[in-house]
């Protein structure tokens, strides 16, 4: 049986689960075994050399982790996938595996906070040259890329103002100088966007967010070209940033409802964005699905849905945010995103807490900004909740 990668609902459920499991189990067993036994020394040797399929030691490969990797590999149209303990493990291992002293990287100022620290602090420490361009300034990026670089690192839509990059255009610029293109696809998910189909070499995810989908398990994954993922995997074997089999099981279980959840979250987020956009107490709404959004045209071109993440600013500044947020009933006030339950918080307290007010302003993050991750609740409840909370400020 072959999986049709365009049928994402079927692929999410069945990928990695086509072979028969232990004693006919219909869900993947959680294989906690650290090590795998062999009666035949020759076979053991062949597996250890990588000439024959099999398992040796769970820091390197594990049957339950393989189920999760296969789901991501299929959904992202990748040749290979390798899983990590967290999203940051996936991103840092990918960058350190593919870069060496003297190499140059071109990226954007608005990458995820942890990724940005790698670019500003840890990669320069090993003499990797990093150029961070204004997010969305495509010409500036093309000029920087054209100077020659080893790797172009992209993220779209971005956190927290949902800026959208034109992937096709930037991938074309990267290919012209033979640069490796890595895309963080966490916000879009493979349901809404497949960067590999647009020419990207590697896609990374924080599986902690939408892939797991329940805010109860952490994980990460890198997938893409076989020879690149092999290098990333070999690096991970040594850094030991492996995914635990229990976490792999939970991620694979969460992924079975990925398409259902994302469909719902796409629709609800659009409704919430339209509602907020018309509200007199709201200053600005950032959602790629709004035709007024700066990146709407690229988003429409490269995404099949606009995602479950949005942000909005309130008139009257942070004082209003302080009054508004605690009034909401159907959201957790917390960091993170992508769960079945809605979740909200101010970037000045969550993702961008380490920046000064001026630095946030430079990134286009208003002090009264609220990031809102739309869950799978009934959207009428979310709208009613927002209405009552806005009425109280």
22 given a catalytic annotation: no
- The packing angle between helices 379-391 and 258-277, to 10°, is 30
Q: How far apart are CA 357 and CA 44, in angstroms?
A: 59
Work out how close the CB of 135 gets to ligand PLP at its nearest, in angstroms, rounded to a whole number. Answer: 13
Which range touches ligand PLP (CB under 6 A), out of 130-138, 184-192, 298-306, 366-374?
A: 184-192
Work out how close the CB of 7 gets to ligand PLP at its nearest, in angstroms, rounded to a whole number. Answer: 26
Fill in the per-residue mask, 76 to 115: x = in contact with ligand PLP (CB under 6 A), - = not in contact: ----------xxx-----------------------x-x-
Nearer to ligand PLP by C-beta: 176 or 335? 335
Q: CA gyration radius for the chain?
A: 21
Q: Does 184 bind ligand PLP (CB under 6 A)?
A: yes
Work out how close the CB of 221 gets to ligand PLP at its nearest, in angstroms, rounded to a whole number. Answer: 10
Nearer to ligand PLP by C-beta: 133 or 203? 203
Q: How far apart are CA 180 and CA 122, in angstroms?
A: 20
Nearer to ligand PLP by C-beta: 87 or 375? 87
How far are the Cα atoms of 10, 148, 335, 390 from residue 218, in angstroms, in the given order? 24, 36, 14, 33
Q: Does 346 bind ligand PLP (CB under 6 A)?
A: no
Q: Does 285 bind ligand PLP (CB under 6 A)?
A: no
Residue nearest to ligand PLP (CB): 87
Quote the strand ranges of 147-191, DSSP E: 151-155, 180-184
Query: Of these, 93, 107, 208, 302, which contacts ligand PLP (CB under 6 A)?
Result: 208
Provide the pairing of β-strand 180-184 with 202-206: parallel
315 given a catalytic annotation: no
Nearer to ligand PLP by C-beta: 71 or 320? 71
110 Rama class: left (phi>0) / alpha (psi -120 to 50) / beta:
alpha
Nearer to ligand PLP by C-beta: 80 or 88? 88
Q: How far apart are CA 131 and CA 108, in angstroms?
A: 8
Beta bridge partners of 204: 184, 222
Which range touches ligand PLP (CB under 6 A), out of 11-19, 26-34, 206-214, 285-293?
A: 206-214
Length, in residues, of the chain: 393
Work out how close the CB of 351 gets to ligand PLP at its nearest, in angstroms, rounded to a whole number. Answer: 8
Sign of the CA dihedral 17, 18, 21, 27? Answer: positive
Work out how close the CB of 380 gets to ligand PLP at its nearest, in angstroms, rounded to a whole number. Answer: 28
- Contact yes or no for 5/74 (Cβ under 8 A): yes
Work out how close the CB of 209 gets to ligand PLP at its nearest, in angstroms, rounded to a whole number. Answer: 6
Query: Of these, 109, 150, 209, 293, which contacts ligand PLP (CB under 6 A)?
Result: 209
Query: Of these, 58, 186, 311, 339, which contacts ligand PLP (CB under 6 A)?
Result: 186
Q: How far apart are CA 340 and CA 364, in angstroms?
A: 28
Fill in the per-residue mask, 210 to 229: x = in contact with ligand PLP (CB under 6 A), - = not in contact: --------x-x---------
Quote the strand ranges of the chain, DSSP E: 80-84, 104-108, 129-133, 151-155, 180-184, 202-206, 220-224, 282-286, 309-314, 332-333, 343-345, 369-373
- Contact yes or no for 345/333 (Cβ under 8 A): yes
Which range touches ligand PLP (CB under 6 A), out of 36-44, 58-66, 202-210, 244-252?
A: 202-210
Which range touches ligand PLP (CB under 6 A), out of 138-146, 193-201, 205-213, 295-303?
A: 205-213
Q: Does 159 bind ligand PLP (CB under 6 A)?
A: yes
112 given a catalytic annotation: yes
Q: How far apart are CA 335 and CA 349, in angstroms?
A: 9
- Omega of the bond leading into 34 within 30 degrees of 0 (cis): no
209 given a catalytic annotation: yes
Question: Hey, which residues are catalytic here?
Answer: 59, 112, 184, 209
Residues that bind ligand PLP in the complex, under the rule CB under 6 A: 86-88, 112, 114, 155, 159, 184, 186-187, 206, 208-209, 218, 220
């Amino acid at each position: 049986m072959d999986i049709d990668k365009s049928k994402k609902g079927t692929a999410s459920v069945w990928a990695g689960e086509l072979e028969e499991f232990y004693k006919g189990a219909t869900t993947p067993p959680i294989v906690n075994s650290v090590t795998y036994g062999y009666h035949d020394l020759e076979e053991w040797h062949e597996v250890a050399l990588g000439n024959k399929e099999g398992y040796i030691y769970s820091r390197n490969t594990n049957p339950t982790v393989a189920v999760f990797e296969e789901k991501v590999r299929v959904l992202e149209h990748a040749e290979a996938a390798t899983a990590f303990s967290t999203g940051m493990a996936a991103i840092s291992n990918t960058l350190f595996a593919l870069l060496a002293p003297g190499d140059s990287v071109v990226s954007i100022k608005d990458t995820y906070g942890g990724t940005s620290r790698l670019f500003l602090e840890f990669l320069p420490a090993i003499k990797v040259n990093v150029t961070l361009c204004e997010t969305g300034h495509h010409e500036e990026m093309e000029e920087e890329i054209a100077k020659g670089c080893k790797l172009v690192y992209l993220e779209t839509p971005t956190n927290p103002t949902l800026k959208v990059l034109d992937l096709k255009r930037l991938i074309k610029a990267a290919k012209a100088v033979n640069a490796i293109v890595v895309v963080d696809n966490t916000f879009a998910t493979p349901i809404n966007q497949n960067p590999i189909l647009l020419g990207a070499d590697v896609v990374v995810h924080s599986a902690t967010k939408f892939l797991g989908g329940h805010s109860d398990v952490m994980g990460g994954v890198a997938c893409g070209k076989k020879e690149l993922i092999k290098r990333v995997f070999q690096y991970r074997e040594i850094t030991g940033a492996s995914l635990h089999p229990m976490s792999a099981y939970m991620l694979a279980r969460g992924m079975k409802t990925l398409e259902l959840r994302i469909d719902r979250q796409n629709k609800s987020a659009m409704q919430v964005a339209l509602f907020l956009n018309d509200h007199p107490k709201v200053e600005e709404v950032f959602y790629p699905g709004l035709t007024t959004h700066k990146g709407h045209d690229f988003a429409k071109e490269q995404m099949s849905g606009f995602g479950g993440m949005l942000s909005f600013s309130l008139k009257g500044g942070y004082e209003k945010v302080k009054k508004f947020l605690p009034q909401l009933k159907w959201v957790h006030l917390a960091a993170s995103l992508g769960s079945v339950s809605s979740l909200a918080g101010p970037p000045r307290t969550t993702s961008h807490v380490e920046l000064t007010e001026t630095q946030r302003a430079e990134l286009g993050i208003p002090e009264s900004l609220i990031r809102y991750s739309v869950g799978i609740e009934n959207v009428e409840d979310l709208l009613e909740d927002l209405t009552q909370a806005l009425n109280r400020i």
